Each structure stands twice: as C-alpha cells, then as structure tokens.
Amino acid sequence: MKRILLLAIISFFTFHFSVSHAQCADALKQYAERYPAAEPQDLYKLVFQDLYGPGHLITDSTACAHYVGKEVAEMSDTTNFPLYEYTLCDSNYVRVNLIVVRKGIVSLGQMVSAVMRSVGPITPDPRFVQSHSATFKAAYDPHYRIVSRAIFERDFLPLFNTAPSR
C-alpha cells in the first residue's frame, strides 16, 4: 500500500510541478527512513502541506493564537520531532516544532504572525484534510505549525542558528 501511494505522489508532483521522479522518490524515501512509523495518510499529509501550507488549518489570527498557545501549554518539554523540517519535493513550506515557542526561541506572537503570513491564496476543500495517523502521533508526538519557506528562512532560521538545539 505504501509503495502504491508513493508512486501516486511522485506521479502527481512530476505532472503538476517542475520536479523529477528522482527528486520526489528521494524526498519520500528520506521521509520514510526518518519516520518508519509513518503510514500512507502521513505521506499524504506531507504532500498536502507542501501544496497548500497552513491555509487549511486556520485563517483567523486570534483563533490561531488560542490554539497554538493551548497546544504549547499542553505539550511536553521534550520532543521526538526535529526543531524544523522542510516539506516534500519543492519544499515550499517548513514544519516548525512548537517546542521553539515553549522554550522561548520564538514568541507565540512571532509564530502566529508567521503562520498567518504563510496562508496562500488557495484554500483546499476541508474534506481532503488529513490528520497524522495514530501510529505517527504515538511514535513522534508531532507539535508543529506550517510556515512558508521564505518566512522561515528570513525570520526563524537565524534564531535557530544561535539557539541551543532541543
């Protein structure tokens, strides 16, 4: 099943974007190696995030601040998830671990602003939005928000380069 989904994702990216089969295959292979507990819906979520960014999640800054603040308050001080990771083939977006807010590397206001500025012009149909699989959640405890690559590299990456890791 995973193999079929991987081939479908690669074909989709190759057809719709300027990436090769090899680029997508390599990116998906690396993702599967990094997250062996990932299920097909987790791979789908990665592709979905690379295409649509955070627009499917929330479009109101007050609600975004509420949900991010609540998640940060409830999460552990440790994580099995990287501080940040680029999305798939085109790496249009970055998953930014909320531990950086919890540890004060990035303020809640900075995170909310970055998420809101990362929302693209296309909002996907909510019927196609997927959550991570229960297996992925149990293995990696992911708490992150999607930020555009340009905003991440300009506003956050310099903070990470000077901050202690995890």
- Give CA–CA dist 42/57, Å, rounded: 16
* Residue 57, CA distances (Å) to 13, 67, 71 in order: 22, 11, 14
Strand partners for 99:
none
- Give CA–CA dist 103/19, Å, rounded: 36
Task: Scan for tokens 């991010």, then name that residue.
Answer: 68
Per-residue pLDDT tens digits for 54-99: 876 676 899 999 999 999 999 999 888 999 999 887 788 999 999 9
- What is the per-residue pLDDT for 166? 44
The amino acid present at 65, given as its one-letter code, is A
* Residue 35, CA distances (Å) to 91, 93, 119, 135, 151 in order: 18, 18, 26, 11, 26
Dig out the tokens for 115 from the structure. 């998420």
| Per-domain residue ranges of the chain | 2-162
Per-residue pLDDT tens digits for 1-33: 555 555 555 555 554 555 566 777 788 888 889
The amino acid present at 165, given as its one-letter code, is S
Largest CA distance in the chain: 42
